[in-house]
Amino acid sequence: MSNHPTSPEALGARLHVNQKYLSPLENDFPTLYITSYGHRFGPLATPPRIAVDLRTLPNPPKTIRSGQTGLSKPLRDWLFVNEEVLARFSEICGRIRAELDEVGARGEKELKVGVNCEMGKHRSVAVVEELARTKFEGWNVVVDHRDVHRKRSSKKPGHSKHRRDGGDDS
């Protein structure tokens, strides 16, 4: 296991390796790191070269979101029949491919992409999962979902637990 701070092990991420090789150590391919996260919980520690904000895309209804994340196939299926989602996904893939070409031409060995939605559980996770299934020829792909298992806070940032009438909710 690598102790490098951006290694898959250190990130707690899944590695999608080019199918011709058994492990990333057996190839010299550069690495595409794609991270989903919740806008509500702040930016990524290292700013990505490509930042994608999905908060304007339709959120799945509560009946679909409840008990599921973007890791769930039913939620991804619901999301990816929407024309707006499909168009945005295509645009994101185009941006990534264009940047991969530029990064590769400069001889760089990695590209970081950050994809957010409000909580980092549904839309961003679903899109990152689909990006992981996309072929980026000549690149290893490492996926991390920073906030997918984070507990939903009962209060929004900046809100107190006190009611407007001065009473306490406790």
Render pLDDT for 62-90 as a digit per residue (tens, 0 to 9). 999 998 999 999 999 999 999 999 999 99
How many C-alpha atoms does 84 have within 13 Å on its Cβ side?
Answer: 10
The arithmetic mean of pLDDT across residues 133-150, rounded, is: 94
What percent of the chain has pLDDT above 90? Answer: 71
pTM: 0.77
* pLDDT reported for residue 152: 73
Q: Is residue 53 part of a domain?
A: yes
Q: Is residue 68 part of a domain?
A: yes
Confidence of residue 13 (pLDDT cuts 50, 70, 90): low
Q: Is residue 85 part of a domain?
A: yes
Q: Is residue 48 part of a domain?
A: yes
Residue 84 CA to chain centroid, in angstroms?
18
Q: Is residue 58 part of a domain?
A: yes
Q: Is residue 156 part of a domain?
A: no
Q: Is residue 59 part of a domain?
A: yes
pLDDT(119) > 50 = yes
Tell me the C-alpha distance between 83 and 147, whole Å. Answer: 26
* pLDDT reported for residue 7: 41
The arithmetic mean of pLDDT across residues 109-135, rounded, is: 97
Number of domains in the chain: 1
At 86, list the tokens: 């499909």
Q: Is residue 18 part of a domain?
A: no
Confidence of residue 14 (pLDDT cuts 50, 70, 90): low
The domain containing residue 52 runs over which residues? Answer: 27-145
pLDDT(5) > 90 = no
